[in-house]
Structure 1
Amino acid sequence: MGAGKSIGRNYRIWQRIQTAIEVVYPPRCIGCGEMAASDFGLCGPCWRETPFIGGTVCHSCGAPVPGSDDGHRIDCDDCLRRPQPWAEGRAALLYQGRARSLVLALKHGDRSELAKPAARWMAQAGRTLFRPDTVIAPVPLHWSRLLKRRYNQSALLSLHLGKEAGLPVCPDLLIRKRRTPPLEGKTAAERAETLREAITLHPRRGQVLRGRSVLLVDDVMTSGATLAACSRACQAAGAADISVLVLARVAKNA
């Protein structure tokens, strides 16, 4: 009984401390900096301006598709024309408007704190992909880009996603053995050729992967070429099943 009272008293003290902190440092919207209802959240206007993906989606890439979910697999036109080398894929946001600003802030704006709420949105979008034998792995950066940027945004998303999903994370499961040029403006075929044999399994991580399901994580999916290169590296190393989860999806019909 005494221990219970002590725990209750400590909890009430913690609540008062939290209240005092919120008075001095009220929660701010991660999108615009205005006051928000909670830490690491969006204010009402920013929430309405952020294009979360909902409803019926392509089972391969997570892009929204018309119609209703009838329980059968649905693939968008792009994925039907060019099947992806992974089993399933999901995305939390459409890469436009407020979502694009948040992704760019995380990727290039030194806003690493955005990874935590972003991973929460991804966990919601990708909840059907989480299996007990799954290991989460980020799309790798070349060491030269990592040195310049100081962190891999996909690795940060993976670490927070692992906590949300209760799954293990292997941040260096894959390595980018050569630096590739930017993919912006390239066709899907050009992207695939640029990334050919650029990504491989870390030589010391074979035992982590063999026979297990892998969930690949990235910030943005455009054509899927980078995730495809990662998937093929995992397949070659003996992965049992591969899925992908991204923060934002570039959709042609968006």
Structure 2
Amino acid sequence: MGLQAALRLLFPPQCLLCETLVTTDFGLCGPCWRATPFVAGLVCELCGCPLPGEDPGHPVHCDECLTSARPWDHGRAAMLYRDNARKLVLALKHGDRLDLARPAAGWILGVARPLLSPGVLVVPVPLHWTRLLGRRYNQSALLSAELARQAGLDHCPDALVRGRNTHSQEGRSREGRFDNMTGAILPHPKRGTLLRGRRVLIVDDVMTSGATLAAATEACQGAGATHVTVAVLARVAKDA
């Protein structure tokens, strides 16, 4: 405890975004917290997008999920992909801010926990090996590993593989995103057997159209998963 106290004096905790001094490690200062679009209240059962009104006591869906079939059973998002949430995602994804995985996983777990049960297997959306080589880490795997640790759940970072390089989805139409992901994610030839008969939580950093998560869900179901929930750090919403 003496060493920890000394370290805190030498390296006091700072806000994850603006580096203002804060009281706890891995936290946001008050202004940054208020400027971060955390999702709360009534949400779509399939994508986690916030909805107006009070909880009616039964699952509700946003317009997009009413018109687009989702292969998974439930979905949640910790934030809307804008403002500080966008900064956090990009810092984790492209800025080597691996320290963000711990608080980000906690935020995802906060919205996904009501959907989880003992025995759930946590898996990340995979990167193609060429993308992984260039980036050096899979941000989704960092999030899934930390979420599983905090929740006390099993984790398999390579249960799924990306069989071909789908390149960036940015700039593609909705239809183009789904076409690009068709058949791109597969169960790992050996590790994928762990999915059989399991309830699975798929973790990713951002949901836009849902094409990538749909491909991952279908791969899990093809390997014998009985129930699939998806959870992301941020959701791109039409009104975002």
Please state how far the C-alpha of 1:207 moved relative to its aligned partner.
2.8
Flag as ranges the 4+ runs of structure 1 deviating above 4 A. Answer: none
- 1:129 and 1:83 map into 2 onto residues whose CA distance is 20
1:5-49 CA-to-partner distances (Å, cap 9, x unmatched) read xxxxxxxxx1x3322221111101111111111111111111111
- 1:225 and 1:123 map into 2 onto residues whose CA distance is 22
1:179-223 CA-to-partner distances (Å, cap 9, x unmatched) read 012111212211110011111000002331111111000000001
Report the AA paired with residue 113 of structure 2. Answer: R
| Alignment partner, residue 42 of structure 1 | 28
Report the AA paired with residue 95 of structure 1. Answer: Y
| Alignment partner, residue 172 of structure 2 | 186
Tell me if structure 1 keeps the 8 A contact 2:123–2:202: yes
Report the AA paired with residue 14 of structure 2. Answer: R
Report the AA paired with residue 141 of structure 2. Answer: A
- 2:162 and 2:216 map into 1 onto residues whose CA distance is 9
| Alignment partner, residue 203 of structure 1 | 189
- Equivalent positions of 1:72-111 (< 5 A) are 72-111=58-97
- 1:24 and 1:212 map into 2 onto residues whose CA distance is 46
| Alignment partner, residue 135 of structure 1 | 121
Cα RMSD, aligned residues only: 0.9
1:33 aligns with one of 2, 14, 19: 19
Tell me if structure 2 keeps the 8 A contact 1:130–1:165: no
1:166 aligns with one of 152, 157, 161: 152
| Alignment partner, residue 105 of structure 2 | 119
Tell me if structure 1 keeps the 8 A contact 2:15–2:27: yes
Report the AA paired with residue 244 of structure 1. Answer: V
TM-score by structure 2 length?
0.98
Tell me if structure 1 keeps the 8 A contact 2:160–2:192: no
1:62 aligns with one of 48, 58, 62: 48
- 1:83 and 1:59 map into 2 onto residues whose CA distance is 13
- 2:192 and 2:158 map into 1 onto residues whose CA distance is 11
| Alignment partner, residue 203 of structure 2 | 217
Report the AA paired with residue 60 of structure 2. Answer: I
Unaligned runs of 5+ in 1: 1-13
1:249 aligns with one of 215, 235, 238: 235
Higher Rg = 1
Unaligned runs of 5+ in 2: none
- 1:152 and 1:203 map into 2 onto residues whose CA distance is 20
